[in-house]
């Protein structure tokens, strides 16, 4: 294969804010020892819906859903899109043709790879699209900023650890099938065919020490986050006060939450996560602004089970 209510305005704003703030990703050079040049001879091969593949049968994703999936992933010229199980190449070609991204398709069937390369030449995007004959479980696609796929649920689950290990903020889009207990961040239905979006979350589960600075001085807190994929809750200890965090939201490497400090002031915290550090700004309910830094004090926990 290769190619349910609408997202809330709040989620859409979060995704748009994340995309606007995300740094441009340096795109890898697609030098895989292969060429996209169309073969000189005429290839009589024509794909057949339902034909057997290595792990799945081939059923193409409808063009309108392809477009919607790439829209959900907010694909643009700075992206490197990798389509796993690329079949006739339509998703990778659409990413390059319609969204000006660079793209790579990974396909096990050599005849489909040849067909895809010819289609890329005919579409005028051969300079931006590469097709590799290979196994999706063996090819390194870690530099992708967007991953697309139309596989089976079992294969999605088999791929899930690899996908979760990718750079936080990487967008994953799947036609038809989900990721088990990892709930999607967005979904769309086009002509009764579903597409799902996930944004790879940063690992925040565990213990942190947080220092906040503002017009009224500096304060410290011990922070503990519990995480299950992109769903996060948290508590902070400030002296004798053990307070919960409100409205915790994690989108890629961006985390926002609200918390009432020991002085009784409600503050909004907006930060960016690196491996061992969270840095950002605070806005108090009276309008005063400040900054905060949190440093990890325990091990980095897997995002599937990031609870203590």
Q: Is the pLDDT of residue 44 over 80?
A: no
Average pLDDT rounded to a whole number, residues 129-154: 96
The separation between CA 297 and the C-alpha centre of its own chain, rounded to angstroms, equals 27
For residue 134, what are the contacts with CB-CB under 8 A and spacing of at least 6?
106, 107, 108
- Joined together, the tokens standing for residue 59 give 């059923």
pLDDT score for 62: 94
- Joined together, the tokens standing for residue 249 give 């939201």
Strand bridging mode 146-149 / 80-84? parallel
Q: Which range among 40-44, 111-115, 259-263 shows the weakest confidence by mean pLDDT?
A: 40-44
Q: Is the pLDDT of residue 146 over 50?
A: yes
pLDDT score for 278: 98
Q: Closest Cα to residue 16, out of 144, 180, 197, 141?
A: 197
29 pLDDT tier (thresholds 50, 70, 90): very low
Q: Is the pLDDT of residue 20 over 70?
A: no
For residue 115, what are the contacts with CB-CB under 8 A and spacing of at least 6?
43, 45, 47, 88, 89
Torsion angle of C-alpha atoms 196, 202, 206, 208, degrees rounded to 10: -140
pLDDT score for 52: 65
Q: For 59-90, how does the pLDDT look when each residue is reduced to its tens digit (9 = 90+)?
A: 889 999 999 999 999 999 999 999 999 999 99
The separation between CA 129 and the C-alpha centre of its own chain, rounded to angstroms, equals 20
Residue 91, φ and ψ in degrees, nearest 5 = -70, -45
pLDDT score for 6: 46
Average pLDDT rounded to a whole number, residues 160-170: 97
Q: Which range among 45-49, 106-110, 141-145, 241-245 shows the weakest confidence by mean pLDDT?
A: 45-49
pLDDT score for 83: 98
Q: Closest Cα to residue 98, out of 75, 132, 127?
A: 75
User: Phi-psi bin for 10: left (phi > 0), alpha (psi -120 to 50), beta?
Assistant: alpha
275 pLDDT tier (thresholds 50, 70, 90): confident
Give Cα separations from 145 to 137, 141, 210, 302 (angstroms): 18, 9, 30, 20
Query: Average pLDDT of the chain?
Result: 87
- Which position has the higher pLDDT, 17 or 165? 165
Q: Is the pLDDT of residue 189 over 90?
A: yes
- Which position has the higher pLDDT, 60 or 195? 195
- Order across the sheet with 217-228: list the strands: 241-244, 231-238, 217-228, 206-214, 289-296, 277-284, 266-273, 254-260, 246-251
Q: For 214-223, how does the pLDDT look when each residue is reduced to its tens digit (9 = 90+)?
A: 998 899 999 9
What DSSP letter does each residue of 134-153 carry, written as one string?
S-TTTS--TT-SEEEE---H
């Amino acid at each position: 294969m290769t190619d349910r209510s609408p997202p809330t305005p709040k989620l859409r704003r979060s995704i748009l804010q994340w995309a606007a703030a995300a740094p441009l990703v340096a795109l890898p050079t697609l030098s895989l020892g292969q060429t996209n040049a169309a073969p000189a001879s005429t290839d009589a091969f024509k794909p057949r819906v339902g034909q057997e593949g290595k792990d799945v049968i081939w059923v193409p994703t409808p063009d309108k859903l392809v477009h919607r999936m790439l829209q959900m992933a907010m694909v643009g010229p700075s992206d490197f899109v990798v389509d796993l199980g690329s079949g006739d190449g339509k998703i990778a070609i659409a990413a390059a043709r319609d969204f000006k991204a660079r793209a790579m398709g990974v396909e096990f069937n050599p005849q489909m790879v040849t067909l895809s390369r010819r289609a890329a030449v005919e579409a005028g995007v051969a300079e931006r699209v590469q097709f590799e004959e290979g196994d999706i479980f063996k090819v390194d696609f870690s530099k992708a900023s967007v991953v697309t796929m139309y596989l089976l649920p079992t294969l999605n689950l088999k791929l899930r650890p690899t996908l979760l290990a990718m750079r936080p903020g990487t967008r994953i889009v799947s036609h038809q099938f989900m990721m088990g207990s990892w709930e999607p961040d967005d979904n769309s239905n086009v002509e009764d065919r579903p597409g799902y979006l996930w944004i790879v979350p940063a690992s925040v589960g565990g213990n942190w020490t947080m220092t906040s600075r503002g017009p009224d001085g500096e304060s410290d807190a011990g922070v503990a986050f519990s995480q299950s994929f992109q769903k996060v809750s948290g508590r902070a200890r400030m002296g004798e006060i053990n307070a919960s965090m409100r409205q915790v939201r994690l989108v890629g490497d961006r985390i926002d939450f609200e918390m009432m400090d020991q002085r009784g002031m409600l503050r909004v915290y907006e930060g960016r996560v690196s491996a061992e550090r969270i840095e950002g700004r605070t806005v108090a309910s009276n309008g005063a602004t400040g900054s905060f830094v949190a440093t990890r004090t325990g091990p980095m926990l897997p995002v599937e089970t990031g609870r203590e």
